Amino acid sequence: MPTRADVAAMIDHTLLKPEATAADVAELVAEARELGCFAVCVSPSMLPVAAGGPVIATVAGFPSGKHHSLVKGAEARLAVEQGAAEVDMVIDVGAARAGDYNTVLADILTVREAIAGQALLKVIIESAALSDDAIVEVCRTAEQAGADFVKTSTGFHPAGGATVPAVRLMAETVGGRLGVKASGGIATAEQAAALIDAGATRLGLSRSRAVLDGFPE
C-alpha cells in the first residue's frame, strides 16, 4: 500500500459545492497545505486564490457539460488568467452517448486552444454514464485533442462516480500517455488504494483527511 505522503501528493483537494464561501475556500487551502495535497480544486468564480503551496485547479462547463464549447473555452481562459494552473472540463456527455465523437473532439479542442498550453487540461468523461466502448472512444478522443488527463466524474452525476473497472479501462486506453484522475464518491483509504492500483494517477477528493488517515506514514 502506498504511504500517506505518496497519496497526498496525488490529491486534488476539492470544494465545488455551490454554497461554498470564500472562508470555506480559505479553509480548504489551509487543510491542503497541512495534508500535503498536490492541488486544490475550486469553482472558477472563487478565483483568484492564494494557495501558497498547492497548485490551483478549477473546472469548466461544470457540472453538466452542456455549455457551448466557446463558453467553456472562455471560462477556462479567464480562470487561467486568474491563476488556475489546471482546468478540469466536462465533455458533452450526451454527444458521447450518441457516438458523436467529432463533437466531443471539437469541444475539447476549443478548450485546449483557449488556454493555449498555459494550463494542464483534464477531461471529465462521466464514466458511470457511458458504456465501456464509449469510455474507450472518449479517452482516445481526449488524447487526440491534446488533453493531459482523463477524469472519471464530476461527482454530481446521479449515475455515480469513480469505479475500479472504469479507471482500469481508462488507464489501459491511454497507456500512460495521459494521466488518469479518479473522482466522485471516494470516501475511504480502501477505495483510494483500489483506484490507484487500477491505474489512477490523481485523486479528486473532498474528504481528503479521512482518506489519508487510512494510509500508513
Distance of CA 171 to the CA centre of its chain: 14
Give the separation between CA 188 and CA 208, rounded to whole angstroms.
9
Distance from C-alpha of 126 to C-alpha of 176, rounded to nearest angstrom: 20
**In the annotation, is 12 catalytic?**
no
Whole-angstrom distance, CA of residue 39 vs CA of residue 22: 17
Asked if residues 13 and 28 have their Cβ atoms less than 8 Å apart, the reply is yes
The angle subtended at Cα 24 by Cα 16 and Cα 33, nearest 5°, is: 90
**Active-site annotation holds for 122:** no
Q: Which of 88, 92, 107, 148 is catalytic?
A: 88
| Cα–Cα distance measured from residue 2 to residue 7, given in angstroms and rounded to the nearest whole number | 7
88 is catalytic: yes
Query: How many angstroms separate the CA atoms of 182 and 203, rounded?
Result: 5
**Helical (H) or strand (E) element with 57:** strand 55-60
- Beta-bridged to residue 13, according to DSSP, are 40, 205
Q: Which of 92, 107, 148, 181 is catalytic?
A: 181
* Cα gap 95→74, rounded to integer Å: 21
Q: What are the beta bridge partners of residue 123? A: 89, 150
Cα radius of gyration (the chain):
16
Catalytic residue positions, numbered: 88, 151, 181
